[in-house]
Amino acid sequence: MSVITIAPINFSNPELIDKIISELKKYLPYKINLQPLQINLNFAYSVERGQYYSTKIIQHLLPFAENINGKFLALVEVDLFIPVFTYVFGEAQLNGKVSIVSLTRLHEEFYSGISDEKLLIERSVKEILHELGHNFGLIHCKDWDCVMHSSLGIEEVDIKGIDYCSNCKRLIRL
């Protein structure tokens, strides 16, 4: 049985993490461990972009995942990018151990100024499942009902499904 380690980095709201993990357990048959981390992420900050380079953070987290039997997903509250995109909701090592998800652009108040915790939790679960799917070897799925569908904007996160489609579940033996 795999273990999923969720590692909130410098997180300001532990109660939110508990709610996200509780919801996440509905979709994953794995044990979920919580490992909060305090890491200075300045090494990944781009002054030009005002964002954090997610690939550098993943590389920095590799030693934390070395002795873990399973997957390691970091949650951050900073805005992430990779050079070819304006921003990313997350990034993962395909068939690897480590992934990262940012909650910054999953907050509804980022777009409308209105807070919606239920929507934030749903979006967070979708993006966590999506990045873990990449860790398990899944690529983007064409099925809009599948959480592995690519999301280029928050509207697409909201439209896509919250679980893996039957084909993706079969591929990762869920």
Which amino acids are annotated catalytic? 131
Residue with tokens 């590389």: 59
Q: 100 to each of 16, 114, 115, 170, how far by Cα in Å?
A: 17, 25, 23, 24
Find where tokens 């934390």 sit.
64
d(CA 170, CA 174): 6
- Crossing angle of helices 117-135 and 14-24, in 10° steps, is 60
